[in-house]
């Protein structure tokens, strides 16, 4: 299945899971189409941040994840690491998972997001803040609903999502 990159608009922030094994919106996610089994798997590795917009609810996540599963089944997902520099000059590794057809666009967009140069999304991405440990430093992962790509500053979360989709690192 071919993928085409469009400017990200719905980018979900992801946080580390607390000691509790539950999603922020577990009942909502199940109601929106994620079965309990899928919700339980995600509950162990990702806490979906509250985004405050209806666009992030009502079935958008399960529909988007459906494509990720198709991409994984077709061996079209790739995973890699890049160095991203923030506006303040801080440099960190950022890990990403995306369809192989859009990798170049994903890398360009992530680098811009690190410097807050990306076009405005529905809700703030705040990758730069995460890198610089400012306002929203509790976000350590992100998921773009439209382009179906993931990116992380947290290696453990990245590796767990790689395992979830059966994708291996392309580079280090």
What the block records as the tokens of 38 is 């899928």
Q: CB count, 10 Å around CB of 120?
A: 9
30-75 pLDDT, tens digit each: 433 456 666 677 777 887 776 665 565 666 777 888 888 899 989 9
Where along the chain do its domains lie? 11-165
- Output phi, psi for 111, to 5 deg: -60, -40
DSSP 3-state of 59: coil
Nearest-angstrom CA–CA distance, 44 and 52: 23
Q: Is the distance from CB of 13 to CB of 149 less than 8 angstroms?
A: no
Q: Of the candidates 145, 124, 120, which has an alpha carbon nearest to the alpha carbon of residue 58?
A: 145
Element (H, E) at 139: strand 139-144
**Stretch 145-151: mean pLDDT:** 94
For residue 98, what are the CA distances in angstroms to 68, 129, 133? 8, 23, 25
DSSP 3-state of 58: coil
| pLDDT the model gives residue 29 | 40
| pLDDT the model gives residue 89 | 92
Produce one character per residue of 145-172: b if its CB has 16 or more CB atoms within 10 Å, e if not.
bebbbbbbbbeebbebbbebbebeeeee
List 7's β-bridge partners, or say none: none
104-146 pLDDT, tens digit each: 999 999 999 998 876 688 777 888 888 888 765 688 999 999 9
Segment of 1-10, 22-31, 97-106 carrying the highest mean pLDDT = 97-106
| pLDDT the model gives residue 80 | 96
pTM assigned to the model:
0.84
């Amino acid at each position: 299945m071919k993928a085409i990159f469009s400017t990200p608009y719905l980018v979900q922030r992801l946080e580390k899971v607390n000691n509790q094994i539950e999603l922020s919106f577990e009942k909502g996610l199940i109601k929106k189409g994620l079965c309990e089994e899928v919700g339980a798997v995600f509950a162990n590795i990702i806490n979906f941040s509250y985004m405050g917009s209806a666009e992030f609810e009502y079935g958008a996540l399960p529909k988007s994840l459906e494509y990720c599963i198709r991409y994984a089944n077709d061996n079209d997902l790739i995973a890699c690491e890049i160095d991203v520099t923030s506006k303040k000059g801080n440099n960190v590794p950022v890990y990403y998972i995306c369809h192989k057809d859009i990798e170049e666009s994903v890398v360009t967009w992530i680098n811009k997001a690190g410097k807050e140069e990306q076009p405005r999304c529905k809700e703030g991405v705040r990758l730069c803040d995460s890198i610089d440990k400012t306002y929203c430093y509790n976000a350590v992962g992100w998921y773009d609903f439209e382009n179906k790509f993931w990116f992380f500053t947290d290696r453990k979360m990245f590796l767990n999502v790689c395992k979830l989709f059966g994708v291996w690192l392309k580079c280090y």
